[in-house]
Amino acid sequence: MRLLEEQDARALAEATARQPWKVVQVQAKPATRRPVAPFTTSTLQQEANRKLRLPARQTMRIAQSLYENGFITYMRTDSVHLSEQAVAAARHCVEETFGADYLSPKVRQYNTRSRNAQEAHEAIRPAGERFRTPQETGLDDVERSLYELIWMRTVACQMADARLTLLTVQLEAGEARFRAAGKRIDFAGFFRAYVEGSDDPGAALESKEVLLPTLKEGDQPGCRAVEAVDHQTQPPARFSEAALVQRLEAEGVGRPSTYASIISTVCDRGYARLEANALNPTFTAFAVTALLEERFPDLVDTGFTARMEGTLDKISQGRVQWLPYLKQFYCGEKGLEAQVFHQEQSIDSATFRTVALEQLPCVVRIGKFGAYLETDHDGQNVKANLPPEMTPADLSPERVRELYQNRLAGPEALGVDPETGESIYLLTGQYGPYVQRGEVASDQPKPKRASLPREIQPENITIAQALDLLRLPRLLGDHPQGGRVEAGLGRFGPYVVWHKGKGERDYRSIKGEDELLTVSLERALELLAMPKPGRGKRTPLRELGPHPADGEPVAVFSGAYGPYVKHGKLNCSLPEGKTAEDVTMEEAVTLLAAKAEAKGAGKAAGTTARKRVAKATKKAAAGTRTGATTAKTTKARRTTRPRRAANPSAP
């Protein structure tokens, strides 16, 4: 076996195309595939990213909503264990949906393998003694998709193994030998319900058949064509959120409940940009990483972080004292405080905010308003701003030359404002493209600028649109109830505003098909008549009916801490395990009565406490009046004595 150059490969293809072909070996090897364990927090984030393209933060937000509304069990867990109730429900779903042949002969239980696992809860699964199918939930969009993912994975873990036959055929043509591989699925088993996703495209073919023609040794199949295919080694793929979560878990960094916040922090602080489901590092990430790795190598080592996680676990278990550990970490001889003090004296900010990339005729520096290029041109120091969305992966020598040419030539004018005679320029700044009237001059006021709304692309903007943007806000007309209505562009996008008078204003965002430069007064009045988002009446999950005591409605709502029943101004959370669909009117009335009684007792206790405080205050006031002379004497004595330390054990 040897690697072929392009010329050799093409010559071999031409030679073998004329040779007779012969089957020299046929192998058929049976294989089985077992279903994977039910979801933990980590694996749920990974699969939701691979299959639904959901960021980890959105996955956890949706899972939180599903948990609060009683659709799934607690979604922050390291455990892959299922309760007897869950196993029975899953096995019932298999028989009911796929038939008894697809049911695993034995109950499957899985062992947790993750490092430092905290198994306070069972695996993530559909809630209840009977698993509702996705169709029965009434959920829509991504909530239903995520629930369906959890439902399928939980059901699949109690299904039978998939049985496969792996096929391999070897053929000879002259001195060359070729091999073809195939796969036949003899029994789909759990493949009928679920196949785990993968970041490797090759591994994603696990559940797909690759059938080969029926061949046996000695056969001489005809050759239609032989093709020489170029193959080049590709660099490792960038981390997706799923791959990063998998790596964090393998390294023992963080906890399942913190993976989403870790990734969100990395993106929110500008260390990476999410592009096509891949995390692309920015120039800021390069600079910060270089600084930390050179000056604080121990603190940014994944091994250190994993060891700290282990120590924190021991603290939570009472095996290590937390105060001595934190004192040593922050204030020890080699603690964080000492390291920062020694390092900050020698850190050169100009050095560490410079990113040198190979094969580029310049350096990249990180400034207050983003990254920019810097080089010497004809004895002058020339700088060129980089677009905010550009990352190191996008910067090539050709792109550098283009940016410098644009910088040296100056911005291209779109046209001239007929009212002022000044040129209108299209520029790109820290927050994206914008138009500007006139040029910047040190002795002149700052020129008028306006950002481009989302519906106008920089390459398509016209001089008329640029002038309209620079004239914003745009007067639409008078409001029927008084005041004027305008359209403008603000920090959070385009909007319409009703100036009611005396400084009072009412805003609505312009979204959907409406456009800033074309929205009419009639449409603006319609938008202003709509209620502001989040201020309308809440919709109940379920209405139970009138209360037997006063006839007022009793309903179940979704809250921040789970479902609750509401009667008038009285709210009461549902007990753990109860869902909006399970609770009855009788149970709701009992819960509300208990809450009202507890609330009344609390008020009575509060009244008694207030009386005691008032009595003590009155007594203290009387003591103050009668002991004024004593207080003055005590104060005089205290001035001659040192103040006692707050810590009783201190000298």
Which of 106-120, 130-144, 151-165 has the lowest average pLDDT?
106-120
Q: Are residues 453 and 485 in the same domain?
A: no
Q: Are residues 502 and 516 in the same domain?
A: yes
Q: Pick the residue with more confidence: 200 or 297?
A: 297
> What pLDDT shows up at residue 346?
82
451 in helix, strand or coil?
Answer: strand
Write down the pTM of the prediction.
Answer: 0.61
Domain membership of residue 151 (yes or no) is no
Torsion of CA 131, 132, 135, 136, to 10 degrees: 170
For 593, the domain range is: 542-600
Q: Residue type for 176, please?
A: A
> What pLDDT shows up at residue 533?
67
Q: CB count, 10 Å around CB of 552? A: 11
Average pLDDT, rounded, for the chain: 83
Which of 13-27, 58-72, 462-476, 535-549 has the lowest average pLDDT?
535-549
Distance between CA atoms of residues 224 and 16, nearest Å? 11
Which of 445-449, 459-463, 481-485, 630-634 has the lowest average pLDDT?
630-634
The secondary structure of the chain in percent helix, strand, coil, rounded to multiples of 5, reads 40, 20, 40
Q: Pick the residue with more confidence: 128 or 618?
A: 128
State the total domains in the chain: 4
Domain membership of residue 28 (yes or no) is no
Which of 12-21, 237-246, 468-477, 637-646 has the lowest average pLDDT?
637-646
| The last residue of a domain, from among 556, 577, 600 | 600
Q: Pick the residue with more confidence: 195 or 424?
A: 424
Please say whether the beta carbons of 366 and 284 come within 8 A: yes
Which of 178-192, 333-347, 570-584, 620-634 has the lowest average pLDDT?
620-634
Domain membership of residue 174 (yes or no) is no
> What pLDDT shows up at residue 627?
42
Task: Give the pLDDT confidence of 47-106 residue by residue, as tens digits.
Answer: 999 899 999 989 999 999 999 999 999 998 888 999 999 999 999 999 999 999 999 999
Q: Are residues 564 and 588 in the same domain?
A: yes
Q: Residue type for 62, please?
A: I
Q: Pick the residue with more confidence: 358 or 226?
A: 226
Angle at 586 between CA 583 and CA 587, to 5 degrees: 45
Hey, what are 477's tokens?
């007309």
Distance between CA atoms of residues 558 and 548, nearest Å? 23
Task: Give the pLDDT confidence of 187-240 residue by residue, as tens digits.
Answer: 989 988 888 765 544 444 455 778 888 888 989 888 888 888 887 777 788 899
- Check if 330 is active-site: no
Q: Pick the residue with more confidence: 547 or 252?
A: 547
Q: Pick the residue with more confidence: 201 or 352?
A: 352
What is the percentage of the chain residues whose pLDDT exceeds 70? 87
**pLDDT category of residue 641 using cuts at 50, 70 and 90:** very low
> What pLDDT shows up at residue 231?
79
Task: Give the pLDDT confidence of 163-195 residue by residue, as tens digits.
Answer: 999 999 999 988 888 999 999 889 989 988 888
Distance between CA atoms of residues 279 and 267, nearest Å? 8
> What pLDDT shows up at residue 123?
93
Distance between CA atoms of residues 386 and 364, nearest Å? 9
| SS3 per residue for 593-612 | HHHHHHHHHHHHHHHHHHHH
Please say whether the beta carbons of 377 and 264 come within 8 A: no
Q: Pick the residue with more confidence: 619 or 406?
A: 406
Domain membership of residue 504 (yes or no) is yes
Q: Where are the alpha helices (DSSP H) in 332-474?
A: 336-344, 349-352, 397-409, 463-470
Distance between CA atoms of residues 292 and 281, nearest Å? 16
Angstrom CA distances, 571 to 559, 561, 563, stand at: 10, 12, 10
- On the question of pLDDT at 427 being above 90, the answer is no
Domain membership of residue 613 (yes or no) is no
**pLDDT category of residue 116 using cuts at 50, 70 and 90:** low
Which of 2-11, 193-202, 246-255, 475-484 has the lowest average pLDDT?
193-202
Which of 505-509, 520-524, 614-618 has the lowest average pLDDT?
614-618
589 in helix, strand or coil?
Answer: helix
Domain membership of residue 392 (yes or no) is yes
Q: What's the average model confidence in pLDDT over 280-287?
A: 90
Q: Pick the residue with more confidence: 562 or 497?
A: 497
> What pLDDT shows up at residue 254?
80
Q: Pick the residue with more confidence: 413 or 69?
A: 69
Distance between CA atoms of residues 173 and 463, nearest Å? 68
> What pLDDT shows up at residue 201?
44
Which of 111-125, 395-409, 559-573, 590-604 has the lowest average pLDDT?
111-125
Domain membership of residue 552 (yes or no) is yes
**pLDDT category of residue 326 using cuts at 50, 70 and 90:** very high
Task: Give the pLDDT confidence of 604-621 residue by residue, as tens digits.
Answer: 555 554 555 455 445 544
* Catalytic one of 67, 74, 110, 507: 74
Domain membership of residue 227 (yes or no) is no
Q: Are residues 480 and 519 in the same domain?
A: yes
| The last residue of a domain, from among 453, 469, 485 | 469
Which of 204-208, 271-275, 338-342, 443-447 has the lowest average pLDDT?
204-208
